[in-house]
Amino acid sequence: MLFLKTHWPQLTLLLLSLTLCILNYTPGTYLSGWDTLHPEFNFSLNFQRILFGVFRPEQGLGAVAAHAHMVELPRMLLLWILSPVIPLSFLRYSYIFLMLIIGPLGMYYLVRRVLSKHTTHHSQLIVQPSFLAALWYLTNLGTVQQFVVPFEMFVTEYGFLPWLFYFAISFLLPLSPSGRGSVPTHVGTGVRGNNAGINLLSIAKWLYSYIAIKRSNRPLLLFALLSFLASGMAYAATLWYMYFGFLALFLFLQSLPTLIKKDFSLGKRSLILLAITILVNAYWLLPNLYFAITQSATIQNANINKLFSEQAFLYNKEFGTPDNILLLKSFFFDWSIYNGRSFEPLLKVWAQHIKNPFILSIGFLTGVIAIFGVISSFIKKSFLNQVQPCTWRYSLLGLLVFVLIFLFNDNPPTNFLFHLIGKVFPILEEALRFPHNKVQILYMLVFAIYFGIGNNLLLSMLSKYVHSFQKTIITGYCVLLAILSLMFFVPAFQGKLLSPYMRIQLPNEYFQLFDFMNKQPDEARAAYLPVHSFWGWEYHQWGDSPSPSFQGAGFLWFGMKQPLLHRDFDRWSSYNEQAYKEFSFAVYSKNPTLLAEVARKYNTKYFI
């Protein structure tokens, strides 16, 4: 009973997350489509590819790795360990669901940690706002957009980001600064006459200090471990670069007041955290920097990117307005998905749901509370026995401004800063064609913390000025806000968090194809047909189901060892793009002789 009383927030979040997982799972299906990764189709092959993944020979005619494929290592190790006991079809589900579970739990501990430094009030005024912030992290529109067509790098950031900041803060500013963070400079000795005797008491003190130091370094060790596990967010490396800039800005702003006073303790700890982050990620970071230096022009000049990038920028501009930012709406609300007969809005159910004025008002209410948290973090609330403003006020505000620059993107008031970044770093102009994607989870973290701070102040005011039924009123406030959050998220409990179109029956013939191809010579290149479009996007209709069977960038290369000429690889190499043009012309000019010549030219042995 005591356990339930002290751990009810964690248990409630766990129960809600597990419920969402169960309600968004279709037994016997694969979670596949959109941008999808399936190393589980051939673990040994894909382990080999990521360990030697600077050059990707399977991508058509071969290409320097644009994506940081090596970052799949932690996730693949987990899936490989689980594979003997979990069905193949459920492996990708398991990782996506794991991130959905650990993300809100991490946010609870992070906000509780922030509020522990922010207030000295009763623990109830820390626990309940922390729970509400974590619940918001689970039940907001940003979460919907990260999971509706899940891509591993985004859900990895969603799951690990709160934990990374929790352990970074725990190392940066320990809650109990009772000497644990100081390094002993000597072991005491006693001197009697000319003989130096060992002072047992000094040795005991030194051992205690040594153990204490080790305990104080646990957050750093856990931060390093999680930095490795979270490196999967760097699959498209821009997402990780944004995280690193976000973390560096936070550490700089948090250390700056002490640096001005010539106290370098926080500065040193901040540098340690940044150094650990870089070192842990160096295994993929160095190859990716090589690609950025030598191959970035290829991406900018690819036809797919030339034709699509401007449209992508316009989608982001459409949603870079205050109301959409407050609700966490992005271009996903203007995106389409094929339903088997025609295209429909990707978030059709959610768009209809928030058209309800009451539901919409819940979304804006949480935004108002978060804004209240921003303002209150700068106020000395002496009337609440809190004589100092929020410890994190400048660093949190800096993070908020950072993400707002990208969320507003080409819209006032920060559009000039957004364009300045593109001019100073031209490579980012293409990489940030979807700025919402790159910062939305970072924004969710800042929003959740401010939401917790806002609720902390509101509950503190209630406890200060309401004397009758104080505990009941505070609990009632928490329950009411929790119910409103769940009402806002109702479609997710109806199975609409993961798009039903991503839960597919994968025909066994594909696995037969993998078995056949893996018995053929490694260099026997295959070409994917049809070649009617240069867009690297597939639509399949298997069986008699009226719903689409698969739509996305494809998956064949995860199960076959041969190079595959596929449109999704054209943007990584101009040679792949040229091969597509030649194959397409030969096929649609109905010239078998020319097609045979093109096949010989590119050493193509199979057509799929």
- The pLDDT assigned to 460 comes to 84
What's the pLDDT at 571? 85
Count of beta carbons in the 10 Å neighbourhood of residue 400? 17
What's the CA gap between 154 and 444, in Å, rounded? 13
Please report, for the chain, the start and end positions of each structural domain, with discontinuous segments joined by +.
2-31+65-502, 507-607
- Stretch among 35-49, 201-215, 268-282, 467-481 having the lowest mean pLDDT: 201-215
- Which residue did the predictor score with more confidence, 515 or 536? 515
Region of poorest pLDDT, from 21-25, 131-135, 409-413 = 409-413
pLDDT, tens digit, 9 for 90 and up, residues 193-208? 444 444 556 655 554 5
Residue 174 pLDDT: 81
Q: At what angle do helices 124-138 and 91-118 cross, to 10 degrees?
A: 150
The answer to whether residue 142 scores a pLDDT higher than 60 is yes
Instruction: Return the minimum-mean-pLDDT range out of 282-296, 347-361, 383-397.
Output: 383-397
Instruction: Check whether 388 has a pLDDT greater than 80.
Output: no
Give residue 304's identity as a one-letter amino acid code.
Answer: I
pLDDT, average across residues 225-247:
96
Q: CB of 335 within 8 A of CB of 347?
A: yes
- Overall average pLDDT of the 581-601 stretch: 93
| Count of other CB atoms within 10 angstroms of residue 295 | 15
| 249 pLDDT higher than 90 | yes
Asked whether the predicted pLDDT for residue 368 surpasses 80, the reply is: yes
In which band, very low, low, confident or very high, does the pLDDT at 393 lie, cut at 50, 70 and 90?
A: confident
- Binned at pLDDT 50, 70 and 90, residue 170 comes out as very high
Instruction: Indicate if the pLDDT at residue 534 is higher than 90.
Output: no
CA 432/CA 409 separation, integer angstroms: 10
Residue 217 dihedral angles phi and psi, to the nearest 5°: -90, -5
C-alpha to C-alpha distance for 168 and 219, rounded to whole angstroms: 7
Q: What is the reported pLDDT for 190?
A: 40
- pLDDT reading at 279 higher than 90: yes
Please give the pLDDT value at position 471. Answer: 81
The band of 188, judged by pLDDT with boundaries at 50, 70 and 90, is very low
Strands 564-565 and 525-527: parallel
Amino acid 201: pLDDT: 62
Residues 41/121, Cβ–Cβ less than 8 Å: no
Q: Which of the four pLDDT bands, split at 50, 70 and 90, describes residue 189?
A: very low
Residue 118, pLDDT score: 59
Q: Which of 42-56, 139-153, 298-312, 400-414 has the lowest mean pLDDT?
A: 298-312
Mean pLDDT of 398-416: 88
What number is the average pLDDT over the span 49-72?
A: 92
Check residue 466 and give its pLDDT.
73
Would you state the torsion angle of the CA atoms of residues 402, 436, 237, 500, taken in this order, to the nearest 10 degrees?
Answer: 150
In this prediction, residue 11 carries a pLDDT of: 97
- Are the CB atoms for 337 and 551 separated by under 8 Å? yes
Whether the CB-CB separation of 407 and 320 falls below 8 Å is answered with yes
Say if residue 431's pLDDT is above 80: no
| Residue 487: per-residue pLDDT | 98
Please provide the average confidence, as pLDDT, over all residues in the chain.
87
Residue 390: is its pLDDT beyond 80? Answer: no
Q: Considering the chain, what percentage of its residues have pLDDT values greater than 70? A: 87
User: What's the pTM value of the predicted model, to 2 decimals?
Assistant: 0.91
Contact of 398 with 250, CB cutoff 8 Å: yes
Residue 315 scores a pLDDT above 90: no
- pLDDT grade, residue 573 (50/70/90)? confident
The closest of 388, 367, 376 to 323, measured between CA atoms, is: 367
Least confident of 37-51, 74-88, 442-456, 519-533: 519-533
> Is pLDDT at 547 greater than 60 in this prediction?
yes
Provide the pLDDT for residue 177.
45
Assign 3-class secondary structure to 520-558: CCCCCEEECCCCCCCCCCEEECCCCCCCCCEEECCCHHH
Instruction: Report whether the peptide linkage leading into residue 413 is cis, meaning its omega lies within 30 degrees of zero.
Output: yes
Provide the pLDDT confidence category of residue 187 given band limits of 50, 70 and 90: very low
Please indicate whether residue 199 or residue 452 has the higher confidence score (pLDDT).
452
Over residues 110-119, mean pLDDT: 83
Mean pLDDT of 469-482: 88
- Give yes or no for a contact between 459 and 413, defined as CB atoms under 8 angstroms apart: no
- Cα(200)–Cα(259) distance, rounded to whole angstroms? 38
If you write DSSP's letter for every residue of 131-195 in order, what string do you get? HHHHHHHHSSHHHHHHHTTT-HHHHHHHHHHHHHHHHHHHHHS-S--SSTTSPP----EEEETTE
